[in-house]
Amino acid sequence: MENSHSVQYQATISEKNSHLQVDVAVVHFTPLIQPKIEQPFKLVEKVVQSVFQYRRKHCHHGLSLLFPEDQRKELTSKTLMLANVEQTLRPTELTIKHFRDLCCAYRELCDKDPELFSYNFREELRQKRLKTNPGLIKEGEVITGTV
Protein backbone atom coordinates (compact mmCIF):
# COMPACT_ATOMS: atom_id res chain seq x y z
CA MET A 1 0.00 0.00 0.00
CA GLU A 2 2.85 2.38 0.76
CA ASN A 3 3.91 2.25 -2.90
CA SER A 4 0.62 3.64 -4.18
CA HIS A 5 -0.97 5.37 -1.16
CA SER A 6 -0.05 7.92 1.46
CA VAL A 7 -0.91 6.54 4.91
CA GLN A 8 -1.81 8.89 7.77
CA TYR A 9 -2.30 7.73 11.34
CA GLN A 10 -5.52 9.20 12.74
CA ALA A 11 -6.13 7.77 16.23
CA THR A 12 -5.88 4.73 18.49
CA ILE A 13 -8.94 3.20 20.07
CA SER A 14 -7.78 1.41 23.20
CA GLU A 15 -9.50 -1.65 24.60
CA LYS A 16 -10.92 0.54 27.41
CA ASN A 17 -13.14 2.29 24.87
CA SER A 18 -13.96 -0.81 22.91
CA HIS A 19 -15.55 -4.22 23.32
CA LEU A 20 -12.48 -5.66 21.65
CA GLN A 21 -9.55 -7.11 23.59
CA VAL A 22 -7.03 -5.28 21.39
CA ASP A 23 -6.01 -1.74 20.52
CA VAL A 24 -7.23 -0.59 17.11
CA ALA A 25 -5.75 2.19 14.99
CA VAL A 26 -7.65 4.35 12.55
CA VAL A 27 -5.70 5.32 9.43
CA HIS A 28 -6.52 7.29 6.30
CA PHE A 29 -5.28 6.13 2.89
CA THR A 30 -4.83 8.68 0.12
CA PRO A 31 -3.90 7.39 -3.35
CA LEU A 32 -0.62 8.83 -4.64
CA ILE A 33 -0.68 10.54 -8.01
CA GLN A 34 2.66 8.95 -8.86
CA PRO A 35 3.49 5.54 -7.27
CA LYS A 36 6.88 5.22 -5.56
CA ILE A 37 7.74 2.24 -7.78
CA GLU A 38 7.23 3.21 -11.41
CA GLN A 39 6.80 -0.29 -12.83
CA PRO A 40 3.65 -2.12 -13.97
CA PHE A 41 1.55 -3.28 -11.01
CA LYS A 42 1.73 -6.95 -12.05
CA LEU A 43 5.54 -6.83 -12.01
CA VAL A 44 5.66 -5.15 -8.58
CA GLU A 45 3.10 -7.61 -7.23
CA LYS A 46 5.07 -10.60 -8.55
CA VAL A 47 8.36 -9.41 -7.05
CA VAL A 48 6.86 -8.55 -3.65
CA GLN A 49 4.89 -11.82 -3.42
CA SER A 50 7.96 -13.85 -4.35
CA VAL A 51 10.21 -12.11 -1.84
CA PHE A 52 7.65 -12.58 0.95
CA GLN A 53 7.11 -16.25 0.07
CA TYR A 54 9.82 -16.97 2.65
CA ARG A 55 9.07 -14.13 5.04
CA ARG A 56 11.52 -15.24 7.78
CA LYS A 57 14.40 -16.30 5.54
CA HIS A 58 16.89 -14.12 3.72
CA CYS A 59 15.35 -12.26 0.78
CA HIS A 60 17.33 -14.19 -1.84
CA HIS A 61 15.29 -17.35 -1.11
CA GLY A 62 11.98 -15.80 -2.18
CA LEU A 63 13.55 -13.74 -4.94
CA SER A 64 14.92 -16.92 -6.51
CA LEU A 65 11.34 -18.10 -7.15
CA LEU A 66 11.10 -15.54 -9.96
CA PHE A 67 13.45 -17.64 -12.07
CA PRO A 68 13.46 -21.12 -13.66
CA GLU A 69 15.42 -23.65 -11.63
CA ASP A 70 18.24 -24.00 -14.16
CA GLN A 71 18.90 -20.22 -14.08
CA ARG A 72 17.82 -19.54 -10.50
CA LYS A 73 21.17 -19.08 -8.77
CA GLU A 74 22.73 -16.95 -11.52
CA LEU A 75 19.71 -14.67 -12.09
CA THR A 76 19.01 -14.23 -8.38
CA SER A 77 22.60 -13.09 -7.81
CA LYS A 78 22.42 -10.82 -10.85
CA THR A 79 19.14 -9.24 -9.66
CA LEU A 80 20.55 -8.58 -6.19
CA MET A 81 23.73 -7.13 -7.68
CA LEU A 82 21.85 -4.86 -10.12
CA ALA A 83 19.57 -3.69 -7.30
CA ASN A 84 22.47 -3.31 -4.86
CA VAL A 85 20.53 -5.28 -2.21
CA GLU A 86 22.30 -7.39 0.40
CA GLN A 87 21.11 -11.01 0.03
CA THR A 88 21.07 -11.59 3.80
CA LEU A 89 18.35 -9.01 4.47
CA ARG A 90 15.01 -10.47 5.49
CA PRO A 91 11.90 -9.38 3.53
CA THR A 92 10.62 -7.35 6.50
CA GLU A 93 13.91 -5.40 6.54
CA LEU A 94 13.60 -4.28 2.92
CA THR A 95 12.54 -0.70 2.27
CA ILE A 96 10.44 0.72 -0.56
CA LYS A 97 13.73 1.77 -2.19
CA HIS A 98 14.98 -1.84 -2.03
CA PHE A 99 11.77 -3.09 -3.64
CA ARG A 100 11.94 -0.36 -6.28
CA ASP A 101 15.49 -1.35 -7.15
CA LEU A 102 14.61 -5.07 -7.18
CA CYS A 103 11.66 -4.38 -9.48
CA CYS A 104 13.84 -2.31 -11.84
CA ALA A 105 16.50 -5.04 -11.91
CA TYR A 106 13.88 -7.73 -12.56
CA ARG A 107 12.34 -5.57 -15.31
CA GLU A 108 15.75 -5.21 -16.94
CA LEU A 109 16.17 -9.01 -16.98
CA CYS A 110 12.62 -9.46 -18.33
CA ASP A 111 13.30 -6.95 -21.10
CA LYS A 112 16.28 -9.08 -22.18
CA ASP A 113 14.28 -12.33 -21.90
CA PRO A 114 10.52 -11.64 -22.35
CA GLU A 115 9.58 -15.22 -21.38
CA LEU A 116 11.01 -14.67 -17.92
CA PHE A 117 8.01 -12.66 -16.71
CA SER A 118 5.57 -15.46 -17.58
CA TYR A 119 7.59 -18.00 -15.56
CA ASN A 120 5.61 -19.42 -12.62
CA PHE A 121 7.52 -21.51 -10.07
CA ARG A 122 4.30 -23.24 -8.96
CA GLU A 123 3.80 -24.61 -12.47
CA GLU A 124 7.39 -25.90 -12.54
CA LEU A 125 6.77 -27.55 -9.14
CA ARG A 126 3.52 -29.10 -10.42
CA GLN A 127 5.27 -30.53 -13.49
CA LYS A 128 8.05 -31.96 -11.32
CA ARG A 129 5.53 -33.63 -9.00
CA LEU A 130 3.60 -35.04 -11.95
CA LYS A 131 6.78 -36.69 -13.27
CA THR A 132 7.74 -38.24 -9.94
CA ASN A 133 4.23 -39.27 -8.89
CA PRO A 134 1.76 -39.16 -11.82
CA GLY A 135 -1.31 -40.14 -9.76
CA LEU A 136 -0.68 -37.55 -7.05
CA ILE A 137 -1.83 -34.44 -8.92
CA LYS A 138 -4.79 -34.31 -11.25
CA GLU A 139 -4.83 -32.13 -14.38
CA GLY A 140 -5.87 -28.56 -13.53
CA GLU A 141 -5.28 -28.98 -9.78
CA VAL A 142 -3.73 -25.96 -8.10
CA ILE A 143 -0.76 -26.46 -5.79
CA THR A 144 -0.34 -24.14 -2.85
CA GLY A 145 2.49 -23.89 -0.38
CA THR A 146 6.22 -23.52 -0.73
CA VAL A 147 8.94 -25.37 -2.57
- Could you tell me the domains of the chain? 41-132 (1.10.8.100)
CA distance 107 to 32: 22
The overall average pLDDT reported for the chain is 85
Q: Residue 2: is its pLDDT beyond 90?
A: no
Do residues 103 and 47 touch, judged by C-beta distance below 8 A? Answer: yes
Number of other CB atoms surrounding residue 29 within 10 Å: 12
CA distance 63 to 87: 9
Encode pLDDT of 64-112 as tens digits: 999 999 999 999 999 999 999 999 999 999 999 999 999 999 999 999 9
135 Cβ contact list (under 8 Å, min separation 6) = none
